[in-house]
Amino acid sequence: MYQQRLSLSDECFVKGTVERVIYYNRESGYGVCLFRVSESSEPVETEEVTVVGLMASPQEGLTYTCRGEWESHPRYGEQFRVKRMEQDMPRSREAVIKYLSSDLFPGIGPKTATKIVSELGDDALKKIVDNPELLQGIPGVSEEKAEMISDTVRQHTDFEQVMLLLYEYGIGSSLALKIYNTYKHDTLAVLKQNPYQLIYDIEGIGFARADAIGRETGIPKDAPERKKAAVLYVLSQAANGDGHVCLKMDELCEHVSKLLGADFDSDEWHERLRTFIYELDEEEKVVLDSDEEMVYLPSLYYSEQGLAKKLNWLLMQDKAEYPIDVVYRVIGELEEAFGVQFADEQRDALVTAACEPVMILTGGPGTGKTTVIRAICHLLSRLEEFSLDEADYRGSDKPYPVRLVAPTGRAAKRMSEATSLPAMTIHRLLGWRGDFFEHDADHPISGRLLIVDEASMMDMWLAYQLVRTVPEGMKVIFVGDADQLPSVGPGQVLHHMIESGRIPYVDLRYIFRQAEGSSIVSLAHEMKRGSLPDNILEPTDDRRFFPCDKDHVAPVAVKLVQQAMKRGYSIFDVQVLAPIYRGPAGIDLLNRELQQAINPRREGKRELTWGDSVFRLGDKVLQLSNHPEHPVYNGDIGKVIALDENVTDGICLWVRFDQTEVGYTRSQLNQLSLAYCISIHKAQGSEFPIVVLPVVQAYRRMLKRNLVYTAVTRAKAYLMLCGEVSALSDGVRKEGGFNRRSLLKDRLQRE
């Protein structure tokens, strides 16, 4: 099609007029246009070229310069993928007339457009921007239309200016469009007056980028908005990156002065920053806990304080006073019904659960936590004579008395299967509506008993949202494995609740599953002690170690998955887990290689390209955030069951999850990724029959005891380790560190 291909670099350009806008999505900025090319960096055979990618409101008849690269689409052939598209303001008489009669100016046809140009000349557009009143008096142009024309022309030139400026600041089209769509006509003003505002409003803009704009626009280095942005940025990075709920004042000043630059690194400046932070506290932009000199983002302060207050209030509720012999008698009945004999600590847990208004139950894998959860529900149902049969509550206004919840969909599903009782995610219980919860302190949840499994995954925000909805008379039980990774979000809620010593606590230590012969469970418990079994390289019935270096992780992982599938396991039974995304043993590459091996491109097989990803029919995919409309949650895994790459404006891909099928539009595809390999963090709360776990020194920075422990405990039936034993043993030795800053423990003890 093309005579010659000179270069595939970003420097390629095509310049021409939009013949036809085939598709344009205003929300995402994604478009497909047919261009008549007048000039290009490389010769083209036909004048008509398809240009695809992010662009700003392309208009038929207007001229643009597109920079990007040529690509060869399997279905549509050669096309130009645009990275930056700039409109050339029309200059010739014909072009200006065509522009003014385009869809951008409703009610203006070629006749009126011609009149305007005849009246004002070929530079009519410039005149309209400088002097809008010139339009008045032109026949056929009412006052209203004159206003509309000058507004639109101005907006358009504004837009071009803004986009050019943002490109100059090194901001790509996608972010630039996001910025423009957020501030519209005020964009230039925001960029000039307070570019730091971008950090709060635009996801993807951090302090460094905003500051680069600030430097260009000449904002003084010690301007209050610059210092304020640095303080808030350090606090939010500490929360979202390192999990700190708050920072010590000194620590904060040190980080902030580093961010502000070398000029701020002095004792005098630290003192001035301290005073500045006190001022931000007065303005309620941050909250200072004066007792401890800790500084918080307001939402985290109120969550931590609210959580502690509500827990303390719950702890003051009356204990249930069942005669102890009755409790023991019912426990005995349950042993008979379940066909087990509870261990002493399990019995302790049951008695505590029966009597205390709040309790914590912890234990490693196979220690019987789920067994105890089920027993607690039945114990209470017998003591208080309520039914656990859902049918008894259908059609009545009596609420179901037991609420079993977990932070992820998969954990909730497992809980429900293991207890034969209804369970759901915390988000579902609280009525998540995309940006708010239906239940809050004024709209409490109902029931007699709330049990939260996988409680180590709850961050400070979620723990507060949940606990604040608990009504008087509802018993709360947190269950978890305290040695697992802490929550992805800020806080170490379970750990600090335990450390406070305020909440009745039972730790299950006897390992039942080990007794049943699981060497995965014994490996996990050995890891908890910071060591590995001597026979780690020897295969057992349920685990095996395959030595390899980082460059062989991908082929080894592919082979292990294929072997498992040959033995009859489905790809959904086998999960590859890794701690980092980049590099030769990273999640991104593993996903690509696994997809290529397990679900390769095939003639006639449907696929859809989205950014750097390709989704194919049958792919295993991961939901990356809680879906606002469907009961599908961050960490849920599903299968692509239908897709249509031709659908640009509507649902283009369907995924089947356990309980539901969900359709995605193109702009929602950022909620999905391939799931052949997922991060260990995303796997928290899930279990898989077979886990393939690469562990190599290339992961060194991430390898800590709680991370490896969490990964290993995801395997239910078989664990395939691959990589370097030294990396595994180094990782196991390194304590995960329970040093997230938070005053939850102190508040629980204090209030």
Q: Kindly tell me which of 511 and 643 has the beta carbon lying closer to ligand ATP.
A: 511
Q: Kindly tell me which of 370 and 697 has the beta carbon lying closer to ligand ATP.
A: 370
> Residue 122 is which amino acid?
D
Q: Is-contact 230 256, C-beta < 8 A?
A: yes
Q: Kindly tell me which of 187 and 540 has the beta carbon lying closer to ligand ATP.
A: 540
E runs forming strands in 501-650? 505-508, 543-547, 574-578, 607-610, 613-616, 620-623, 637-643
CA angle 640, 641, 642 (to 5 degrees): 100
Stretch that binds ligand ATP, among 362-370, 435-443, 544-552, 730-738 (CB under 6 A): 362-370
- What single-letter DSSP state applies at residue 437? B
Q: Is-contact 713 686, C-beta < 8 A?
A: no
Helix (H) or strand (E) segment spanning residue 720:
strand 715-723
> Does 705 contact ligand ATP by CB under 6 A?
no
> Does 365 contact ligand ATP by CB under 6 A?
yes
Strands 48-54, 30-40: parallel, antiparallel or unpaired by DSSP?
antiparallel
Provide, rounded to whole angstroms, the least separation between the CB of residue 501 and ligand ATP: 23
Q: Kindly tell me which of 363 and 631 has the beta carbon lying closer to ligand ATP.
A: 363
> Does 729 contact ligand ATP by CB under 6 A?
no
Provide, rounded to whole angstroms, the least separation between the CB of residue 531 and ligand ATP: 20
Provide, rounded to whole angstroms, the least separation between the CB of residue 230 and ligand ATP: 43
Q: Is 366 annotated as a binding residue?
A: yes
Q: Is 367 annotated as a binding residue?
A: yes
Stretch that binds ligand ATP, among 106-114, 191-199, 280-288, 367-375 (CB under 6 A): 367-375
> Does 346 contact ligand ATP by CB under 6 A?
yes
Provide, rounded to whole angstroms, the least separation between the CB of residue 339 and ligand ATP: 9
Provide, rounded to whole angstroms, the least separation between the CB of residue 265 and ligand ATP: 48
* Distance, CA of 739 to CA of 192 (rounded, Å): 40
Q: Is-contact 406 423, C-beta < 8 A?
A: yes
Q: Is 369 annotated as a binding residue?
A: yes
- Integer CA distances (angstroms), 199 to 195, 242, 259, 557, 653, in order: 8, 18, 14, 40, 32
With tokens 């030795």, the residue in question is 733
Q: Which of residues 130-149 bind ligand ATP (CB under 6 A)?
A: none
> Does 237 contact ligand ATP by CB under 6 A?
no
Provide, rounded to whole angstroms, the least separation between the CB of residue 452 and ligand ATP: 14
Cβ–Cβ contacts within 10 Å for residue 618, how many? Answer: 15
> Does 334 contact ligand ATP by CB under 6 A?
no
> Does 367 contact ligand ATP by CB under 6 A?
yes
User: In sequence order, what are the beta bridge partners of 660?
Assistant: none
> Mask of contacts with ligand ATP, 371-400, x by CB under 6 A?
x-----------------------------
Provide, rounded to whole angstroms, the least separation between the CB of residue 350 and ligand ATP: 11
> Residue 159 is which amino acid?
F
Q: Which of 197, 161, 201 is nearest to 211 (CA)?
A: 197
Rounded to a whole number, what is the distance in angstroms from the first to the last CA of the chain? 76
**Residue 16, Cα to own-chain centre: how many angstroms?**
39
* Distance, CA of 551 to CA of 479 (rounded, Å): 40
Q: Which of 96, 66, 71 is nearest to 82 (CA)?
A: 66
Q: Which of 316, 350, 357, 318 is nearest to 335 (CA)?
A: 350
Q: Which of residues 494-533 bind ligand ATP (CB under 6 A)?
A: 512-513
Q: Kindly tell me which of 367 and 679 has the beta carbon lying closer to ligand ATP.
A: 367
* Distance, CA of 84 to CA of 647 (rounded, Å): 24
Provide, rounded to whole angstroms, the least separation between the CB of residue 369 and ligand ATP: 3
* Distance, CA of 461 to CA of 432 (rounded, Å): 13
Closest residue by beta carbon to ligand ATP: 512
**Residue 214, Cα to own-chain centre: how many angstroms?**
29
Q: Is-contact 493 455, C-beta < 8 A?
A: yes
Stretch that binds ligand ATP, among 87-95, 364-372, 626-634, 743-751 (CB under 6 A): 364-372
Stretch that binds ligand ATP, among 36-44, 45-53, 336-344, 552-560 (CB under 6 A): 336-344
> Residue 542 is which amino acid?
D
- Helices 267-282 and 249-260: crossing angle, nearest 10°? 110
> Does 579 contact ligand ATP by CB under 6 A?
no
Q: Could you say which of 340, 355, 617, 725 contacts ligand ATP (CB under 6 A)?
A: 340
Q: Which of 427, 447, 311, 423 is nearest to 373 (CA)?
A: 423
Provide, rounded to whole angstroms, the least separation between the CB of residue 375 and ligand ATP: 9
Q: Kindly tell me which of 350 and 672 has the beta carbon lying closer to ligand ATP.
A: 350
> Does 368 contact ligand ATP by CB under 6 A?
yes
> Does 351 contact ligand ATP by CB under 6 A?
no
> Does 407 contact ligand ATP by CB under 6 A?
no
Q: Could you say which of 370, 416, 665, 668 contacts ligand ATP (CB under 6 A)?
A: 370
Stretch that binds ligand ATP, among 146-154, 301-309, 341-349, 425-433 (CB under 6 A): 341-349
- Helices 173-183 and 143-168: crossing angle, nearest 10°? 140
* Distance, CA of 211 to CA of 213 (rounded, Å): 5
> Does 416 contact ligand ATP by CB under 6 A?
no
Provide, rounded to whole angstroms, the least separation between the CB of residue 365 and ligand ATP: 3
* Distance, CA of 177 to CA of 563 (rounded, Å): 46
* Distance, CA of 607 to CA of 187 (rounded, Å): 38
Q: Is 368 annotated as a binding residue?
A: yes
Provide, rounded to whole angstroms, the least separation between the CB of residue 481 and ligand ATP: 7
Q: Kindly tell me which of 17 and 484 has the beta carbon lying closer to ligand ATP.
A: 484
> Residue 249 is which amino acid?
M
> Does 363 contact ligand ATP by CB under 6 A?
yes
Provide, rounded to whole angstroms, the least separation between the CB of residue 445 and ligand ATP: 24
* Distance, CA of 298 to CA of 183 (rounded, Å): 25
> Does 343 contact ligand ATP by CB under 6 A?
yes
Provide, rounded to whole angstroms, the least separation between the CB of residue 658 and ligand ATP: 18
> Does 366 contact ligand ATP by CB under 6 A?
yes
Q: Kindly tell me which of 135 and 693 has the beta carbon lying closer to ligand ATP.
A: 693
Stretch that binds ligand ATP, among 56-64, 368-376, 499-507, 541-549 (CB under 6 A): 368-376
Stretch that binds ligand ATP, among 82-90, 294-302, 335-343, 539-547 (CB under 6 A): 335-343
- Integer CA distances (angstroms), 626 to 57, 64, 426, 670, in order: 31, 39, 11, 12
* Distance, CA of 49 to CA of 70 (rounded, Å): 10
Which residues contribute to the site for ligand ATP (CB under 6 A)?
340-343, 346, 363, 365-371, 512-513
For the annotated binding site for ATP, the residues are 366-370
For the annotated binding site, the residues are 366-370
